[in-house]
Structure 1
Amino acid sequence: MAPDLECVSLTKRFDGMTAVDDVSFSVAPGSFFSILGPSGCGKTTIMRMIAGFLDPSAGDIRIKGRSVLNVPPNKRPVNMVFQHLALFPMMNVADNIGYGLRRAGLPKAEIARKVDEALERIGLPGIGARRVDELSGGQKQRVAIARCMVLEPDVLLLDEPLGALDLKLREHMKIELKKLQAEFDTTFVYITHDQSEALVMSDQVAVMNRGRFEQVGTARDLYYRPETAFVAGFVGDSNRWPGRVERIEGETLALRTDDGMLMLGATHGRALSVGDRVQMFVRPEAIRVARDAAELARFDNRIEGTVTSLLFNGAASRILVRHATGGGEIEVALPQSGEFADLGEGDRIVVGWSGAQGNCFPATGQDGAPDAERSDA
């Protein structure tokens, strides 16, 4: 079965600047595919090329195996939900949803039937006569999706549609969008700079940086098995230590950090050599906390330090620990056990983690930092 969407060596240049650089990917029928990246990485440019609003400089775009390069936007089997939804305030809900059907010349009875079916599927039956300004933010979001879905596109494009919502509604709509995608069984292509949106909703996520895809995979792959330093630093929270390799034994390496500490990390099969500049990433939840160093004797890396900040956020709470030898702060997941319930600023503790949890990559810049964001496309 052909992919619903396939982009082959897609490239877009603007006045000598390359916004999208030889990107290839395919999206399976009925799946939820997200493109995740910082502002200016090129993800909106890809979306606009798929929709037909921009012409590629090179490459091909195929929908269900057929190239759409010479097909105008209004003739492509795609539809698009914009960040600001673009609902018509002078029309009621039913007229908004049925707008495209009227433009297509369908009979009134068929339009009414399709609109009623769409309202049922988005969980808002019987509200067709309401004005748009009477709807909540989440209801408007679902109406905007229904307006696209009644046209039965092969691919629905969603351009950061949750960006204008408040935090609580955004969290709710992440679940709603995933349910709607399953209900309509339509291929969704979603772009966002919010990793939580991409990881929660998507079957596959492409992490984009500087016009290229760094990695495409499931949320679990990206989080636990990042393939590049950029992915390791961009997806989820991580502590990062730049430094130089002092020795390597199998897949275990010893890293002398720039602030003078010696840590053990893992190569995970990457070609690294003694003397190489590298950066090591460690997730906050991989780090254990104790009152005494002897409690963490089983860990390869142990650091004594002082709690400098408590960042309370329920089960996602963090502490910042400054190690006794100086340098920066370590972000650690706050243990949920009662033993640490009264942990506060100024407390002396010990943190530790295994070398296998230290994911090491070749340094990508002079300071070992991940690629910086761009401010284009």
Structure 2
Amino acid sequence: MTPDLHCTDLTKRFDDTTAVDNVSFSVPPGSFFSILGPSGCGKTTIMRMIAGFLEPTSGDIQIKGKSVLNVPPNKRPVNMVFQHLALFPMMNIEANIGYGLRRAGLPKEEITRKVGEALERIGLPGIGHRKVDELSGGQKQRVAIARCMVLEPDVLLLDEPLGALDLKLRERMKVELKSLQAAFDTTFVYITHDQSEALVMSDNIAVMNEGRFEQMGSARDLYYRPDTAFVAGFVGDSNRWNGRVTKQNGDHVEVQTSSGLTLRGATHQRALSIGDQADAFVRPEAIRIAHNATELASFDNRISGHVTSLLFNGAASRVLVQGAEGGEEVEVNLPQSGEFASLTKGAEVHIGWSSDQANCFAGGV
């Protein structure tokens, strides 16, 4: 099956700076693909090259099997939703959605039909007569997407479109965007620095750093089986320790941390040898907390200590635990029921986790 979008060896240089460095990827038809990375990593540059606002220094961009190099933006079968939605305040909703159709010279009857269908799909039927400033932030977001989708692009590009929304609305719009993508059955390419947005909405994600893709895969792959220390630290929350490998057995190692703690972990991607610097990552939800050390006898990583902080966040509450021998505080998910519901600062506790839950990578990253 021909991908809707295929980029090959895509590179963009600005004088002596390489913003995008030899990136290749494909996006299957009807999928939701996200490029996730910190500010300045090159993700917006990729988006602008796909849209035609920038020409690559080298490489190729194909949409449905045809190269779009040297094709101007208005002739490419793509459309783009920006963080600042740029809706026309002097027009009502129908006029905003139908703007591109009028520019294309479609008959009035066809424009009315297409706009009506778009309003149905975004869940806003019957309000086309309203002004833009009468809409909520989430409704404006849907109208901006509908304005793009009525033009039936092969690929819709979304440049951090939720960044200007408040937290609660942003959480709701993550679900709505995924539903809209399914309703229109159009390929979405989405860029964001927000890992939660990428994890919740995407079929596949590329994690980008310093102009390159560190890893591509499903949200589950990136979260549970990161390829690099950058991905392990950037996607989701993790405890991180740095140290040296003191023992090695197959794809498992023992790491002596700089604070004197001995950790056991797995090297799923690249083998480490005795003496190598290593970074170990353990997610807070992988760690079990107990009042009695014997409850953790099955774990090959165990620490005894006390609670230094309670981080209340409803169902996502956590505690920080300081080991009895010092070292880094460990962030642990807090069970919401039973004996730990009333845990207090200073309480003596024990924590433990399996070596298979600790991802170890070459250190110095």
CA distance in 1, matches of 2:97, 2:161: 17
Q: Relative to structure 2, which stretch is displaced further, 297-306 or 132-141?
A: 297-306
Partner residue in 1 for 2:357: 357
Matches within 5 A, 1:47-126: 47-126=47-126
Task: Give the number of aligned pairs.
Answer: 365
2:38 aligned partner, one-letter code: P
Computed over aligned residues only, the root mean square deviation of the Cα atoms, in angstroms, reads 0.8
Partner residue in 2 for 1:204: 204
Partner residue in 2 for 1:187: 187
Partner residue in 1 for 2:163: 163
2:89 aligned partner, one-letter code: P
CA distance in 2, matches of 1:294, 1:201: 41
Partner residue in 1 for 2:324: 324
Matches within 5 A, 1:218-233: 218-233=218-233
SS at match of 2:231: helix
Partner residue in 2 for 1:374: none
1:351 aligned partner, one-letter code: I
Pairing 1:298–2:295 present:
no
SS at match of 1:110: helix
Partner residue in 1 for 2:38: 38
Partner residue in 2 for 1:3: 3
Q: Relative to structure 2, which stretch is displaced further, 317-326 or 23-32?
A: 317-326
CA distance in 2, matches of 1:271, 1:314: 39
Percent same amino acid at aligned positions? 78
TM-score by length of 2: 0.99
Pairing 1:277–2:261 present:
no
Q: Relative to structure 2, which stretch is displaced further, 286-295 or 1-10?
A: 286-295
CA distance in 1, matches of 2:33, 2:344: 42
CA distance in 2, matches of 1:245, 1:43: 35
SS at match of 1:109: helix
TM-score by length of 1: 0.96
CA distance in 2, matches of 1:138, 1:48: 25
Structure with more relative contact order (C-alpha pairs < 8 Å, separation 6 or more): 1
5+ residue gaps, structure 2: none
CA distance in 2, matches of 1:151, 1:268: 45
5+ residue gaps, structure 1: 371-377
- Provide, for residues 49-84 of structure 1, a one-character-per-residue CA deviation record: whole Å limited to 9, x for no partner: 000001101100000000001100000000000001
Q: Relative to structure 2, which stretch is displaced further, 342-351 or 150-159?
A: 342-351
Runs of 4+ residues deviating >2 angstroms: none
SS at match of 2:304: strand
CA distance in 1, matches of 2:309, 2:73: 52
SS at match of 2:98: helix
- Provide, for residues 225-249 of structure 1, a one-character-per-residue CA deviation record: whole Å limited to 9, x for no partner: 1111111110001001110000111
CA distance in 2, matches of 1:269, 1:73: 40
SS at match of 1:119: helix
CA distance in 2, matches of 1:175, 1:357: 29
2:293 aligned partner, one-letter code: A
